[in-house]
Structure 1
Amino acid sequence: MDFDLNNVRAALDEDRLSGLPLELILEILSRVDTKLAIQTCLLLFPRWKLFWTLLPSLKFSNSGIKTLADFSKFVTHVLSHRNHQVEVSSVNLCFHGEAAQGFVKEIANYAFSHNVHELIVYSTTRNECPPSLFKSQTLKHLTFRTSVYALCLTPKTPWDFPALTTLYLKDMSLCDDRRESLDLFSKCVNLQNLTLENITVEAKVLEIITPRLANLRLDNNRGYNINVIAHQLVNLTIIQCSIGDLNIPSGLSSFCYKGYHTPHWFKNWHFSVNKVTVSLRI
């Protein structure tokens, strides 16, 4: 078989990726960190130099950036030069070190003003979070994680997320005063999936009042009573939780419990469940 070296070189030099549909290119770039996406557009494919301004998904991480001041400057540059006509479908923010409220507020306000549907926040140190972070008319999925108890939130009013369907909270304190009750979710009228993992609450009662909640998972939460008012609750999972009292509706389909002791509120159950899994550790 004969090879035409010139044709081989031409094939290797051809920018085949640029021939892909723009929607597919943006999907590929959205899968990586925004900083890497910008570098790819500017350095590897000069013809893509404006493509990063059209990204619907933004992923910010200060890994590899020396200071949070530099990180904040980079994020501000991205937001100010982005095509503001393009809505933001998701924002993923991961940072280490102290961050001012203004920095977090700037990102949240931009995302909410562009009808963001998914917000993922991960921080490893104690940071003050602006109240505006917990109010959005379009947000559907919220994940908020910290390092172990690095963040304490003590809201005065319920979080205002009327479109929210999925909420995942991990490694934080939701209340640091001894109020009688804490209500966070009553304005999340479309919430269907709620996971609380390694959460502390110093209020006497955590109120979970959500009319459409179907799936509730409580994992390694200790020391407080939980009152659940969710008439459409279908699946309830409780793992390694030391809960004083648990009031739940009678329409459960599936219940899973894993712990070291049989909780006393088992005695108050007077209704049937289709599937029950109980695992007691000695």
Structure 2
Amino acid sequence: MEFDHDNVRQRVVEEDRLSSLPDELIHKILSCFDIKFGVQSCLLSSRWEFLWTSMPCLNFSTDHFRVLGKFAKFVNHVLSHRNHQIQVSSVNLYFRGEDNQGFVKKIAKYAFSHNVQQLTVSLQSSRYVFPTVLFSSQSLKDFKLISNTTKTPLDFPALTTLNLNCVTLWGDLFSKCINLKKLTLKYFVVDNNRQLLYGYLNVSPQLSSFCYTSSYLGCYVPLHFSNDQFHSLNKVSFCLRKYNPNKAYKEEDVRNTIYMLQKLHSARYLTLSADTVEYISSFPDLFLHHSSPFSNLVCLTIDSSMRKDVAYKVKMSTEAKNFLLGNSPSATLIMKLSN
């Protein structure tokens, strides 16, 4: 049977269902890709020619450019030709390299001037310092920063969700985030006066979700909260990871971890890694003068999913168990095993 190419081509043109979709839906499809793809989509048809200029979601990545200078020119092209009447809802920026102050500053200024609400910045560099303009916005509600040292206080009065990953914290960063409700700190350290010290976090008492993950116990820095209590705390996830099973735990660090958990006493749903439980269980005498602080606990989950041994059994002392569940006898205890 002979294949009719002309007939197929005609049917494709006549049934161009993608171009018949409303702009909002096409924007949503394009937002799943880098903005470079969105710009290139203008070649598909006259219907698509200017669609990218009104996209509310902007995703920039240097991975699609061999030379950083070409990426900087592309950023200038996108921002200068975009429809400036359209607000920016979200920006995702992923880049490698050192000399990036120019386009990072340009993207941040443009996004903040167009009332961006969600911003994700991922950096593959150990020496780069972000421009201060990146840390001040009246509209930003969701901010994620991956891999950097920041000394500039975060001036985000509207911010409700903050995710810091592989970041070195320096000084008081959170006091101006007065509406912060969800805080995630993952693989981070606290650096004060060029020395790793116990960190003090001045976090909003409105915090409802707190997720804490240390890279390894060898890099672990216990945190102290400036607030005496969190009235709205609902979910807490606390994950410490053992880096050397043969190295002894430090009593002072365990003591500070217990104090840190006491500050989170209003949590209703508490998740602890298996290493965390074994960590605080290593000095049972430390609980002699501490009753259970968790009076609102609905569910305690012990997460062993990072363990490779499926049959692994968590070593939890009686004192640690009483500390976690003694004041919430009806709370559900869930043991999450590795897959």
**TM above 0.5:** yes
Q: Is contact 1:90-1:119 (8 Å) kept?
A: yes
* 1:79 shift after superposition: 0.3
Aligned to 1:164: 159
* 1:249 shift after superposition: 4.8
Aligned with 2:150 (options 140, 153, 159): 153
SS at match of 1:202: strand
Aligned to 2:203: 209
* 1:117 shift after superposition: 0.8
Q: Is contact 1:100-1:128 (8 Å) kept?
A: no
Aligned to 2:223: 225
Q: Taking structure 1 as reference, are residues 170 and 47 closer, same or farther at Cα in structure 2, changes over 3 Å only?
A: same
| Structure 2 letter corresponding to 1:130 | P
* 1:45 shift after superposition: 1.8
2:272 is equivalent to residue 257 of structure 1: yes
> Larger radius of gyration, structure 1 or 2?
2
In the alignment, the residues of structure 1 paired with residue 58 and residue 207 of structure 2 have an alpha-carbon distance, to the nearest angstrom, of: 29
**Deviation per CA, 1:72-91, whole angstroms, max 9, x where unpaired?**
11101100110100000000
| Structure 2 letter corresponding to 1:129 | F
* 1:269 shift after superposition: 4.8
SS at match of 1:185: coil
SS at match of 1:39: helix
SS at match of 2:163: strand
Gaps of 5+ in 1: 176-181
271-280 or 233-242, which deviates more: 271-280
Q: Taking structure 1 as reference, are residues 153 and 281 closer, same or farther at Cα in structure 2, changes over 3 Å only?
A: farther
2:92 is equivalent to residue 92 of structure 1: yes
In the alignment, the residues of structure 2 paired with residue 24 and residue 269 of structure 1 have an alpha-carbon distance, to the nearest angstrom, of: 55
* 1:141 shift after superposition: 0.8
In the alignment, the residues of structure 2 paired with residue 281 and residue 68 of structure 1 have an alpha-carbon distance, to the nearest angstrom, of: 51
Q: Is contact 2:90-2:116 (8 Å) kept?
A: yes
Aligned to 1:173: 168
Give TM-score, length-normalised by structure 1.
Answer: 0.85
| Structure 2 letter corresponding to 1:197 | K
Q: Taking structure 1 as reference, are residues 46 and 223 closer, same or farther at Cα in structure 2, changes over 3 Å only?
A: same
Aligned to 1:179: none
The structure carrying a bigger strand percent of its residues is: 1
In the alignment, the residues of structure 1 paired with residue 290 and residue 265 of structure 2 have an alpha-carbon distance, to the nearest angstrom, of: 11
Q: Equivalences for 1:1-282 in 2 at 5 Å?
A: 8-14=8-14, 15-41=16-42, 43-125=43-125, 126-146=127-147, 151-155=148-152, 158-175=153-170, 182-203=171-192, 204-220=198-214, 222-227=220-225, 229=227, 230-240=230-240, 244=256, 245-246=259-260, 248-258=263-273, 259=275, 260-262=278-280, 268-271=290-293, 272=295, 273-278=297-302, 280=314
Gaps of 5+ in 2: 193-197, 242-252, 304-313, 317-339
Give TM-score, length-normalised by structure 2.
Answer: 0.72
Q: Taking structure 1 as reference, are residues 250 and 16 closer, same or farther at Cα in structure 2, changes over 3 Å only?
A: closer
In the alignment, the residues of structure 2 paired with residue 92 and residue 220 of structure 1 have an alpha-carbon distance, to the nearest angstrom, of: 25
| Structure 1 letter corresponding to 2:159 | L
Number of aligned residue pairs = 267
Task: Give the alignment's Cα RMSD to 1 decimal.
Answer: 2.5
* 1:111 shift after superposition: 0.2
SS at match of 1:183: coil
Q: Is contact 1:116-1:139 (8 Å) kept?
A: yes
43-52 or 137-146, which deviates more: 43-52
